[in-house]
Structure 1
Amino acid sequence: MCGRFTQIQSRDDYLEFLAEEVGKDIAYDPEPIGRYNVAPGTKVLLLNNRDDTLHLDPVVWSYAPGWWDKAPLINARVETAATSRMFKPLWNHCRAIVFADGWFEWKKEGDKKQPYYIYRKDRKPLYFAAIGKQPFDAGDDAEGFLIVTAAAGKGLVDIHDRRPLVFTPSAALTWMDPETTGVQASELAHHVAVSTDEFIWHPVTRSVGNVKNQSPELIRNICY
């Protein structure tokens, strides 16, 4: 699953790596976002395509439609999201991207759970696949969004059996394109996502378990 992640750099940094032309209609903002412990239930900058223009909107990370009588959901499994009653409309028409640098997972070690920070080997930005309730600029009345997850695979499965679905920059743009069909989105999700081989991880302080904590110390490798 994905229950915490970081959104540290400025939005300009994420947009620049995505593609030079995509940020031309988004206001320039070089200030680092500086969120070292992004938690569910908080508003997160969500990149989405409306009317053939990319927008960044603060959207709540959780999803619970009016008929849902359980706790809000934060993740959708790539294996079932495209066909489920709850997520199929979102998959087909309401896709977006979440900027990130890495994410946290907890592994049971002895009688305690040790958090790990997971990120790309080359330290490049991550583009998480997301689905949600449009319009994403609806403010507090919006039902929010979910991060799409996939099986972890290989060494990463030793930390957790699920991981966010991460796209390359070009795949991220295609994922958000309203002209991309649900079937095409599934092809992207299953065949173009960034491989598990591209990620590394290290143990971090248990202080990340407290959502109030926000500092660079949360991603520091505690083995050094």
Structure 2
Amino acid sequence: MCGRFAQYSSRDDYFDALKIEDDELIYDPQPIGRYNVAPGTKVLLLNQRNEHLHLDPVYWGYGPEWWNKQPLINARGETAATGRMFKPLWVHGRAIVPADGWFEWKKEGDKKQPYFIYHKQHLPLFFAAIGKAPYNKEHGHEGFVIVTAASQKGMVDIHDRRPLVLTADVISEWLDSNTSARRAEEIAHDAALPEKAFTWHPVDKAVGSIKNQDANLINEITPD
């Protein structure tokens, strides 16, 4: 997965898709309006804390003090639950990134063409994420990463990795601190949307600059 996605719908749209009750979160009909979310910025992250759901702005990236490289932004779903870096986060820091789609760059000849990938029915997406909890506290560069899966079928032509997008009906269980790490592995394996749920189209290369943030970034174009 490349390091850009879109989170432009309103909180209402995301919460309605999850069938979250009115008293569980404060609704907000205003669009979030982020069409080019980049690593190193704070992203609204859905998480459970003290048996209540919260939506907190959290740093996208994970680099503990002993990590002397750039903060990581993704974790492979095949190994995140057992690897040294991410196992503690898998147990105690499961979260969800509400989104509308993501961007990937495909090499075409000697150039790279960006594509926007989204649900065929334009439904909200829910990326599985793990990070440093609790999310209402500042942890520096110990923020969160998006869990990824291997791409298959047509999507592999765009990129060999993709976000692990969970179905709305398992989000509550994924977030629940009482859900075991093993059960969370099962959810990641069995409740992810398949490639056939998505479609994609080429978009303007302006998405390559984080300075560009307008809605035109997700519009389909005819490549040169």
TM-score normalised by length of structure 2 = 0.96
Correspondence 1:79 to 2:78: yes
**Structure 2 SS opposite 1:46:** strand
Question: 1:142, CA displacement in angstroms?
Answer: 6.2
**Structure 1 SS opposite 2:217:** helix
**Structure 2 SS opposite 1:57:** strand
**Structure 1 SS opposite 2:85:** coil
Residue number in structure 2 paired with 1:8: 8
Correspondence 1:100 to 2:83: no
Runs of 4+ deviating beyond 4 Å: none
The answer for unaligned runs of 5 or more in structure 1 is none
User: Hey, what's the Cα distance between the residues in 2 that align with 1:66 and 1:20?
Assistant: 36
Question: 1:26, CA displacement in angstroms?
Answer: 2.0
Q: How many residues align?
A: 223
Residue number in structure 1 paired with 2:144: 145
User: Hey, what's the Cα distance between the residues in 2 that align with 1:95 and 1:116?
Assistant: 28
Sequence identity (%): 63
**Structure 1 SS opposite 2:65:** coil
Residue number in structure 2 paired with 1:155: 154
User: Hey, what's the Cα distance between the residues in 1 that align with 2:44 and 2:20?
Assistant: 19
Change (3 A) 1:81 1:107: same
Residue number in structure 1 paired with 2:66: 67
The answer for unaligned runs of 5 or more in structure 2 is none
RMSD between superposed Cα atoms in Å: 1.3
Moved more, 24-33 or 180-189: 24-33
Confirm or deny: 8 A CA contact 1:134 1:142 kept in the other structure.
no
What do the CA deviations read for 1:38-72 (whole angstroms, capped 9, x no partner)? 00000000000011100000000000011111110
Confirm or deny: 8 A CA contact 1:62 1:72 kept in the other structure.
yes
Confirm or deny: 8 A CA contact 2:148 2:162 kept in the other structure.
yes
User: Hey, what's the Cα distance between the residues in 2 that align with 1:161 and 1:217?
Assistant: 26
What do the CA deviations read for 1:165-209 (whole angstroms, capped 9, x no partner)? 001111122111111110000001111111111000000000000
Question: 1:141, CA displacement in angstroms?
Answer: 3.6
User: Hey, what's the Cα distance between the residues in 1 that align with 2:66 and 2:139?
Assistant: 18
- Paired letter, 1:15: F
Change (3 A) 1:125 1:149: same
Map 1:1-224 to 2 at 5 A.
Answer: 1-21=1-21, 23-139=22-138, 141=140, 143-223=142-222
